[in-house]
Amino acid sequence: MATQLETRMTPVKAISFALVGLWLLIAAFPFLWTFWGSFKVQADFFSKADWTNALWGTNTTEETGGAFTGAGYHGAWITEEFWQNVINSGIVVFFTVIISLTFGTLGGYALARSGFRYAFWLLMAALVFRAMPHITLVSGYLLPFFEWNIWGHLPTTIIVLVAINQPFTLWMLHSFFLNIPKDMDESAMVDGCTRFQAFRHVIVPVMWPGVITTGLFSFLLAYNDFAVTAMLLSEENETIIPAINSFLGTTQVEGKVMYAVAAVVSATAPLFVLILFFQRQIVSGMTAGAVKG
């Protein structure tokens, strides 16, 4: 019930609205600026003389004849063959998500239904693994991978990302399965199902909301990874994030920075679409661990 007292504008309220407004500006402005600027030439995007050049595209008009140019995108996608990296990323992300969800649902279900002490220890170990910087593990991979000649290939990276993803997936699905009443699968087992049949016919049909939420975060981990993909992939197998980083090393030439800007905007676009469609699931996933305490 909203009383008059609550709807009145108090100084405290004004300050807190101002804070929210400021935050939203800080959160959104860099993306809008970079997106807008990616259709300009370098002289406009990095315009020291007058920042409004970037808005109206003064130099862009001089150099190309129009206020907008797709030169950065053309350079990145076609000249630098960014599309190849996009395909690689697609393969890595797709298989990482599918495999980690398969492993994770089986393991998370087992952990949620087992009251044994070793289940607890497994979860604790997973927590420690989850906290380790990924680069510490990468230094352990390199020598063996060189020895076995599996360095640089996409499948190697996929299985490594699956493993690095497991601790998080396990925790999330474990707490999700705890919320599915035990009675459901246990009554199926009383009716004569084996444990796996009960899982297959009773749990699988109701687990999709949790699996989708977890899948979104597995996607983000695989898509956003830099430490593993930069160290474990050969140049022709690079995914988009290390590719953007290697752009920077080679693009000190005038104009080529815009290739990197275009690539950065292209890499952000899928995330934007993801948030647009799955905002509710992402928010519920972020707080899933928190609500359980």
Partner 1 sequence: MKHRTFFWFILPTLSAMILFIALPIVSVFLQSLFVQHEQVLVVSESCGPFGCKESTKVDLEATEKLREEAPMGQYNGLGTYINRSHLAFAEVGNAWGSTTTFGEFWDQVFDLPFYNALIFTLTYTAIVTPLVLVLGLAIAIGVNGLPKLMKGPSIFVSLLPFLVTPLVGSLILFWMVDGDGVIGATIQLIFDDPNLSLKASTALTWTMLIVYGVWHTLPFSFITFYAGLQTVPSDTLEAAQIDGASKWQRTIFVVVPHLMPLVSFVTLMLLMDNFRVFEPIVSFSAEAHARSLSWIIYNDLRESGNPLYGSAGATSMLTIIGVVILLTPVLIRTWRDFNRKAH
Q: Which stretch binds partner 1 (CB under 8 A): 63-71, 76-84, 111-119, 206-214?
A: 111-119
Nearer to partner 1, 206 or 275 (CB): 275
139 binds partner 1 (CB under 8 A): yes
| Whether 281 contacts 212, CB under 8 Å | yes
| Whether 168 contacts 97, CB under 8 Å | no
97 binds partner 1 (CB under 8 A): no
Residue at token pair 């890499």: 267
Nearer to partner 1, 65 or 128 (CB): 128
Rounded CA-CA distance 221/163 in Å is: 12
Q: Which stretch binds partner 1 (CB under 8 A): 57-65, 67-75, 76-84, 119-127?
A: 119-127
Among 84, 91, 130, 153, binds partner 1 (CB under 8 A): 130
Helices (H) and strands (E) in the chain, counts: 16, 0
| Whether 79 contacts 232, CB under 8 Å | no
48 binds partner 1 (CB under 8 A): yes
Site for partner 1 in 217-256 (CB under 8 A): 220, 223-224, 226-227, 231, 241, 244-245, 248
Give φ, ψ of 204 to 5 degrees. Answer: -55, -45
- Amino acid occupying residue 94: F
- The least distance separating partner 1 from the CB of residue 24, rounded to whole angstroms, comes to 5
Q: Which stretch binds partner 1 (CB under 8 A): 67-75, 77-85, 109-117, 204-212?
A: 109-117
143 binds partner 1 (CB under 8 A): yes
For the chain, the maximum distance between any two Cα atoms, rounded to a whole number of angstroms, is 78
